[in-house]
Amino acid sequence: MTDPTPASADADASDLPRHIAIVMDGNGRWAQRRGRPRTFGHRAGAKTVRLCVRLCLERHIPALTLFAFSSENWKRPREEVGALMSLFMRSLDREVDELHEHGVRLRFIGERADLSPAIRKRMELGERRTAANTALQLTVAISYGGRWDIAQAARQLAQEAAAGRLDPAAIDEAAVAQRMALAELPPPDLFIRTGGDRRISNFLLWQLAYAELWFTDTLWPDFSATDMQHALDDFARRERRFGLTGAQCASGRSLRG
Ligand code: IPE
Ligand code: IPE
Ligand code: MG
């Protein structure tokens, strides 16, 4: 973690996102361009995760959610899935102490039943160990899909209704939101995707409703503090209207002083 963070002239603290969600894409291509196996790129990508955690801590950005493995990534070749699972396991063994020392609360979202008991155990230990930390809420999405998330929320609602604990007529957006992953965090303000593709790939479909989207061609292992600063500077310049008119937003800003 030695890459110095470039200072920026045009982003002040009030313009910072409270929650950044990142699709960490491009590891395979990064490795292939070097004539190496795709798994070499995944290992290199793990270092970029450390950098992003450090940058969020330095900038006091309170929440970071990282897409590490999607529901669909299970369909990749068996060897690649196996290598990724070993990498998660090793990363958990290696990183949790340091995350804890820096006050990071670590959590996971996704379908845990698909993961091996050994990984699940490490995830639970990491979550329990860091549960009281408040410097950064770090969520790692593993075996996660936005459609899976909506389906599991619907299942919970149906079970509560069937058990007589919930009136179906009372199901509104807030009731769904409460049962989605990340319910206790503010929704992501800034969505970053590396690797050049401009798509969501079944990440946080519900939670990204009003996120600002930022894409870069940089492949994930090359993503740097400078790239993050570009994303933050761009975010600071966006006008977030949430359905209102530009004039309404401007008067809201002047009212707030
Ligand atoms: C992202 O990099 C990591 C995972 C999806 C697990 P990729 O492995 O998708 O890399 P590319 O997109 O093929 O280069
Ligand atoms: C999205 O990347 C998932 C992760 C980064 C974990 P993919 O590489 O799986 O996405 P597609 O296949 O290009 O849409
Ligand atoms: Mg990819």
Q: Average pLDDT of each block of 10 consecutive residues along the chain (257 residues)?
A: 47 82 98 98 98 98 98 98 98 98 98 98 98 98 98 98 98 98 98 98 98 98 98 97 96 68
Give yes or no for residue 22 CB within 6 A of ligand 1. no
Let me know if residue 5 belongs to a domain: no
Given the CA of residue 197, which atom of ligand 2 is nearest to it? 13
Q: What is the pLDDT of residue 56?
A: 98
Q: What is the pLDDT of residue 12?
A: 59
CATH of the domain at 97: 3.40.1180.10
Let me know if residue 197 belongs to a domain: yes
- Residues sharing a CB contact under 8 Å with residue 54, sequence separation 6 or more, in sequence order: 1
* Distance from residue 228's CA to the centre of ligand 1 (Å): 19
Looking at the structure of the chain, the number of domains it has is 1
Q: What is the pLDDT of residue 13?
A: 63
* Distance from residue 79's CA to the centre of ligand 2 (Å): 17
Q: What is the pLDDT of residue 256?
A: 54
State yes or no: is 73 an active-site residue: yes
Under 8 Å between Cβ of 20 and 189: yes
Given the CA of residue 28, which atom of ligand 2 is nearest to it? 8
Give yes or no for residue 49 CB within 6 A of ligand 1. no
Let me know if residue 89 belongs to a domain: yes
Ligand 1 atom 3: the closest Cα is on which residue?
25
Point out the ligand nearest to the CA of residue 29. 1
Let me know if residue 166 belongs to a domain: yes
Residue 68, domain extent: 15-256
Let me know if residue 198 belongs to a domain: yes
Let me know if residue 109 belongs to a domain: yes
Q: At what angle do helices 38-59 and 225-237 cross, to 10 degrees?
A: 50
Give yes or no for residue 70 CB within 6 A of ligand 2. yes
Point out the ligand nearest to the CA of residue 68. 2
Q: What is the pLDDT of residue 7?
A: 47
Let me know if residue 137 belongs to a domain: yes
Q: What is the pLDDT of residue 254?
A: 65
Give yes or no for residue 218 CB within 6 A of ligand 1. no
Q: What is the pLDDT of residue 253?
A: 72
Let me know if residue 126 belongs to a domain: yes
Given the CA of residue 32, which atom of ligand 1 is nearest to it? 14
How far is CA 108 from each of CA 46, 247, 252, rounded to the nearest angstrom? Answer: 16, 40, 36
185: left (phi over 0), alpha (psi -120 to 50) or beta: beta
Give yes or no for residue 73 CB within 6 A of ligand 2. yes
Q: What is the pLDDT of residue 252?
A: 85
Of 25, 149, 189, 227, the catalytic one is 25
Given the CA of residue 68, which atom of ligand 1 is nearest to it? 6
